Amino acid sequence: MNKNDVRHFDAVVVGAGFAGMYMLHRLRGLGLRAVVLEAGGGVGGTWYWNRYPGARCDVESMEYSYQFSDELQQEWEWSERYAAQPEILRYANHVADRFDLRRDIQFNARVASMAFDGAKLQWTLTTQREDFTARFCIMATGCLSSPNTPDFKGVDLFQGDIYHTGLWPHEEVSFHGKRVAVVGTGSSAVQSIPLIAQQADQLYVFQRTPNYAVPAHNHVLDPKHQQAVKAEYPALRARAKLNATGIDFDYSERLALETSHEEREREYEARWQRGGLSFLGAFMDIMTEEEANRTASDFVRAKIRRTVRDPEVAELLAPKNTIGCKRLCIDTGYYETFNRPNVTLEDVSRSPIEISPSGVSAAGRAYEVDGIVFATGFDAMTGALAKIDIRGSNGTSLEEQWAEGPRAYLGLMTVGFPNMFTVTGPGSPSVLTNMLPTIEQHVDWIAEAVAYMRSNRVSRMEPTLEAQDAWVAHGNELAGRTLRYTCGSWYLGANIPGKPRVFMPYIGGLPRYMMKCREVVDKGYEGFLLS
């Protein structure tokens, strides 16, 4: 096939993670000719790239799974409470095989540009090898898929090995006998540091901002528990959708500020012992009232001080900001790792890191290392889209249009980009929820919209500016009421220099969001222009 060849499809899906795979399945079900273009060499999206030691989901396996096929959810056996990356990737591959998806996925096909032709009412997508045209284009590019490597001075001169947690090599990496630096202390670092410390001769952790971590208490899944969950799967899935996060947690309706100190401590301790993200569900006002939030953060700080033997190190590890403002980390032995003699914590909050040919220097000290692990996160939610030169109906690029922050109606479509859908795009609950059910809800909505267009002879769909503006304003208004604005998180784009500070996910909760999506359809796609 020559580079100039153009292949035509009814729909092109960009990305073969969980969103792209299910989208392909649904489009096929509608009888469309569809293809998925995937930059990687296999399915799985974020789980294909994030292979760092300790990579594991922070949502329990029995819920972090598809529910569109009851046979699939009944037959698949998870081995642990929180599945590790290799198992999740095996699951993704199983789904690809089970639904015969691979024959319509082009691997190693990175989309470089996309442009909409208003006369032909079609998108043209270019890759290095071939070009594609289609009426519908579905961006399943993921929320945390564009790794962020800050521009550290001297990084090009470093003579050792450099890794990024979000772009981990596919071959085994051994740190035995090595001196290693880890830069960053977010979820990826919290998961990988305990395992790297077990191998490395010496580990230096460079921390700019400490993060809160709650124990995972991961364990092998008891087959009886698994059977019991499977016996009531539909009820569990339905219950989960009634919660803001789409996870079947026990969210308390009590207020921390109206509960006695003893009772609060009892509740926090019970949730600490259970482990996982439901810690923040202990009281309803944790994310809305600073004082309530402090009761939860004080509890975690006390745990850190009791766990870490060196009081100075414990103080450095104890976060001072709002708990839950950044994504809560779920750990296995993170704080305990700092009691090891081969682990050193370096505070780099006041002076930036510099890199030399032989190591890392910070705060006036130099550390010779053989390898550096950047656990520096992602250009979240918009990064993967911004890497593609996407041109809409009047030639404007999406990146330019979103220069002041992403604007999309329901996180599903953007004015000026007809027939282009985003799965879990900015303005949808996405990263604040269990991604799998959220992905399914979006894919189902998109499939229904495409089916509607085809059966009603509609060839072009995009939101109205009024509907989009109102949705963005509503999202901002809700976000402003929470404590999530009080720290420099990736939800706000604060981790990327120059990125506008806009709270990107929809914070109104999954039930309210799903109801809105349903209403829009029931009212004949209210807020969309159909022609």
Q: 295 vs 376, which CB is nearer to ligand N01?
A: 376
Report the site for ligand N01 in 72-131 (rule: CB under 6 A): none
Residue 215 binding ligand N01, by CB under 6 A: no
Comparing CB distances to ligand N01, the nearer of 49 and 528 is 49
Instruction: Using DSSP, state whether 519 is helix, strand or coil.
Output: helix
Cβ atoms of 402 and 391 closer than 8 Å: no
Residues 413-452 that bind ligand N01 (CB under 6 A): 431
* Rounded distance between C-alpha atoms, residue 320 and residue 486, angstroms: 11
Q: Which is nearer to ligand N01, 376 or 414 (CB)?
A: 376
Q: Which stretch binds ligand N01 (CB under 6 A): 56-64, 278-286, 299-307, 393-401?
A: 56-64
The secondary structure of 336-401 as a DSSP string is HHTTSTTEEEEE-SSS--EEETTEEEETTEEEE-SEEEE---B-TTTHHHHTSEEE-TTS-BHHHH
Q: Which is nearer to ligand N01, 415 or 510 (CB)?
A: 510
Based on the shown chain and the rule CB under 6 A, indicate whether residue 57 belongs to the binding site for ligand N01. yes
For residues 415 and 465, the answer to whether their CB atoms sit within 8 Å is yes
Query: Interface with ligand N01 by CB under 6 A: which range of 55-63, 296-304, 339-347, 412-420?
Result: 55-63
DSSP, collapsed to helix, strand or coil, labels residue 487 as coil
# residues near ligand N01 by CB under 6 A: 28
Instruction: Establish if 377 lies at the interface with ligand N01 (CB under 6 A).
Output: yes
Give the residue, chosen from 186, 319, 429, 509, that forms a contact with ligand N01 under the rule CB under 6 A.
Answer: 186
Helices (H) and strands (E) in the chain — how many of each?
16, 20
Q: Measured from the CB atom, is 326 or 391 closer to ligand N01?
A: 326
Minimum distance of ligand N01 from residue 149's CB (angstroms): 9
Site string for ligand N01, 305-344 (x = CB under 6 A): ----------------------x--x--------------
* Whole-angstrom distance, CA of residue 394 vs CA of residue 117: 9
By beta-carbon proximity to ligand N01, the closer residue of 134 and 431 is: 431
Q: Does 353 bind ligand N01 (CB under 6 A)?
A: yes
Q: Confirm or reject binding of residue 241 to ligand N01 (CB under 6 A).
A: no
The one-letter code for the residue type at 180 is V
Q: Are 491 and 484 in contact (CB under 8 A)?
A: yes
Q: Which amino acid is at 527?
A: G
Residue 65 or 209 having the CB closest to ligand N01: 209
Residues 452-491 that bind ligand N01 (CB under 6 A): 488, 490
Q: What share of the chain is helix, strand, coil (3-state, %, to 5)?
A: 35, 20, 45
Q: How far is the CB of 292 from ligand N01 (least distance, A)?
A: 22
Residue 376 near ligand N01 by CB under 6 A? yes
Taking CB atoms, the residue at the shortest distance from ligand N01 is 186
Supply the minimum distance, in Å, between the C-beta of residue 164 and ligand N01: 9
Distance between CA atoms of residues 282 and 213, nearest Å: 15
Please list, in sequence order, all residues whose beta carbon lies within 8 angstroms of the beta carbon of residue 465, skipping any fewer than 6 positions away: 415
Closest approach, Cβ 519 to ligand N01, in A, equals: 29
The residue within the footprint of ligand N01, chosen from 20, 184, 418, 508 (CB under 6 A), is: 184
Nearer Cβ to ligand N01, position 223 or 364?
364
**What are the C-alpha distances in Å from 225 to residues 228, 293, 517?**
5, 33, 34
How many other C-beta atoms can be found within 10 angstroms of the C-beta atom of residue 151?
A: 6
Copy the structure tokens of residue 209.
Answer: 């901002």
Instruction: Give Cα 10 distance to the centre of its chain.
Output: 29
- With both helix axes pointing from N to C terminus, report the angle between 18-29 and 435-455 in degrees, rounded to the nearest 10: 30
Return the residue matching tokens 């993704």.
Answer: 92
The answer to whether 408 contacts ligand N01 (rule: CB under 6 A) is no
Among 122, 146, 209, 322, binds ligand N01 (CB under 6 A): 209
Query: 65: helix, coil or strand?
Result: coil
Closest CA to 130 of 35, 55, 54: 35
Residue number, 184 or 437, with CB nearest to ligand N01: 184
Cα separation of 81 and 217, whole Å?
9
Q: CB of 217: closest distance to ligand N01 in angstroms? A: 14
DSSP 212-243: -EEE----BPPHHHHHHHHHTHHHHHHHHTTS
When the beta carbons of 208 and 264 are compared against ligand N01, the nearer one is 208
| Binding residues among 493-522 for ligand N01 as defined by CB under 6 A | 495
CB of 321 to ligand N01, least distance (A): 9
**Contact status: 373 vs ligand N01 (CB under 6 A):** no
The 3-state DSSP class for residue 139 equals: strand
Q: Which of 25, 179, 208, 241 binds ligand N01 (CB under 6 A)?
A: 208
Out of 165, 293, 321, 337, which residue is the one contacting ligand N01 (CB under 6 A)? 165
Residues that bind ligand N01 (CB under 6 A): 56-58, 144, 150, 165, 183-189, 191, 208-209, 327, 330, 348, 353, 375-378, 431, 488, 490, 495
